Amino acid sequence: MILDYISFINEMIYMDIVTKDKTKLFKALSDINRLRILKALQARSLCVCEIKELLGLANSTVSQHLKILKETGFILEEKEGKWVNYLINPRPGDQRISSILSSLDFWINDDTIIVNDKKIIGNLDRNIICGT
């Protein structure tokens, strides 16, 4: 009886962890600005200044969005000299992330905001935007 109870508790703890994991993934995708960041990073790696310019948001807001995307495994950051570049995680530990990233085109590629962002991304120049 006690072993059944312990087994039940362990199963509930496992289910809680799995559910929280899935919830984090969906939370990361629940904001248009995070989706815009993901789509932009599918085009090329960007620094915070470039993402801030693209989204028209404050540094702190962009940093919060990037933190959520990093914590869930969607993106990585790479230091390159004085730059910190953000890029799509090419080998996420969770296969659901790869699946989601590969289906973003299907779901939002023709969205007006995403189409406009694609045009802007090609003209973003960190040397001008970041003032260096």
Overall domain count for the chain: 1
CATH number of the domain that residue 36 is part of: 1.10.10.10
pLDDT at 86: 97
Q: 79: exposed, middle or buried (C-beta count within 10 Å: 0-12, 13-18, 19+)?
A: exposed
For residue 73, the 8-state DSSP code is: T
Residue range 69-87, pLDDT digits in tens: 999 999 999 998 888 999 9
CA 44 from chain centre, in angstroms, equals: 14
Is the overall model pTM greater than 0.75, yes or no? yes
Q: The domain containing residue 92 runs over which residues?
A: 2-129
pLDDT at 18: 46
Residue range 22-68, pLDDT digits in tens: 788 888 999 999 999 999 999 999 999 999 999 999 999 999 999 99
Backbone torsions φ then ψ of 74, nearest 5 degrees: -75, -35
* pLDDT class of 132 with cuts at 50, 70, 90: low
Element housing 83 (H / E): strand 83-88
* Separation of alpha carbons 55 and 51, rounded Å: 6
